[in-house]
Amino acid sequence: MLEIRKKHSLIKTLFLTILELIYPEEDICFICDTYDDSIDEENICLKCKENLRFISDNKCSICGKPLQSDAVIKKCYNCKKHPYYFSKAVAALEYEGIIKEVIYKYKYGNKPYIYKALGALLVQAIRESDININDIDIIVPVPLHRFKIIKRGFNQSELLAKYISDAFNIPISVKNLIRSKMTVRQNNLDRLNRRSNIKRAFKIKKKDDFIGKNIILVDDIFTTGITADECSKELVQAGARDIIVVTLATGKSN
Ligand SMILES: [Zn+2]
Ligand SMILES: [Zn+2]
C-alpha cells in the first residue's frame, strides 16, 4: 500500500516537473498567446485583463452569481428556492467572453500550464472576498472520474486547488473525495436531469478526515451549482463543518 502511495506521489512530482518544462516563455499571455513586455508573473496581458469580467459587489450572497438588477436583498431566485449544502460560493469572473475560450483551451487544448494564470485570478478573488482564510483547514478539488483523467491527462480543478493550496499554505486533499460514477457532460441537460445525472456520483473513502473541517471546494465553472452541491453533500454527511465553493467563473443568476 505504502509502495503504491510512493509511486503515486512520484508520478505526481514527475507530472508537475514535465508541466514546468512545457511551460512557454515568460513574456507570453496565456489568454491571447501574444508576447508583451508588460506581462507580469500571472501571464495575463493588460488588454486581456481589461476584457475579463470580474464579479462586482452586486451579487447573490449565497451562490455569488451576479444579480440582474440592483436588488436590495442580495439573494437570487434559485437560492431562495433551493438551499445548498455549501454555505456560499465565490467566483472570480462571469462566465462570459474570452474566459469561456480560455477555460476550453485549458481543459481540452492540452494546455495544463494555463492553471497558473487562472490560479492567480482565483487567489485574487479569495483575497478580495469575505472568506476568512485562516479558518480554512483543507482545499478539496471537485474530482474527475479516473477514466477522464486518463483521457485529459489532468484534473483542471485539482491544478487550480493546488495553486490555492500553495498560495495560502493550506493542505490539499485530492484522493479522498472521488468521482465514482461516470457522468455525461452537464451542458445539454436541464436542471432536473443534471441533478439525476450527477446524483451519487461522488464518494468519500476516509470520512474521518473531514470531520469538523472547514473546506474550500474548488471547481472551474459554477453553472447550476449542482455538481458543487453534490460534493458538498458528501462532505457535510462525512461531518465537515463548513464548505465554501470557489470557482473561476460563474454563470448568470435566475
Ligand atoms: Zn492577452
Ligand atoms: Zn444565488
Could you report the per-residue pLDDT of 118-176, keeping only the tens digit for each? 999 999 999 999 999 999 999 999 999 988 888 888 999 999 999 999 999 999 999 99
242 band by pLDDT with thresholds 50, 70 and 90: very high
82 band by pLDDT with thresholds 50, 70 and 90: confident
Mean pLDDT of the chain: 87
**For residue 1, what pLDDT is reported?**
43
- Kindly state the helix (H) or strand (E) to which residue 248 belongs, with its residue range: strand 242-250
Domain segments of the chain as ranges:
55-250
Residue with cell 462525512: 238
Q: Compute the distance from residue 140 Cα to the ligand 2 centre, in Å.
A: 22
Please give the model's pTM, rounded to 2 decimal places. Answer: 0.87
Could you report the per-residue pLDDT of 18-72, keeping only the tens digit for each? 665 555 556 788 888 888 777 777 888 888 889 999 999 899 999 999 988 777 7
Q: Compute the distance from residue 109 Cα to the ligand 1 centre, in Å.
A: 17
**For residue 33, what pLDDT is reported?**
85
Which positions ≥6 away from 224 have C-beta within 8 Å?
Answer: 78, 186, 191, 194, 251
Q: Compute the distance from residue 80 Cα to the ligand 2 centre, in Å.
A: 7
**Predicted confidence (pLDDT) at residue 4 exceeds the cutoff of 80:** no
* Ligand in closest contact with the CA of 250: 2
Q: Compute the distance from residue 32 Cα to the ligand 1 centre, in Å.
A: 4
Q: Compute the distance from residue 67 Cα to the ligand 2 centre, in Å.
A: 8
* Ligand in closest contact with the CA of 74: 2
* Ligand in closest contact with the CA of 252: 2
Q: Helix count (H) and strand count (E) of the chain?
A: 9, 6
237 within 8 A of 80, measured Cβ to Cβ: no
**For residue 72, what pLDDT is reported?**
75
**Predicted confidence (pLDDT) at residue 5 exceeds the cutoff of 60:** no
Could you report the per-residue pLDDT of 214-241, keeping only the tens digit for each? 999 999 999 989 999 999 999 999 999 9
* Ligand in closest contact with the CA of 66: 2
Q: Among 3.40.50.300, 3.10.105.10, 3.30.1280.10, 3.40.50.2020, name the CATH number for the domain at 55-250.
A: 3.40.50.2020
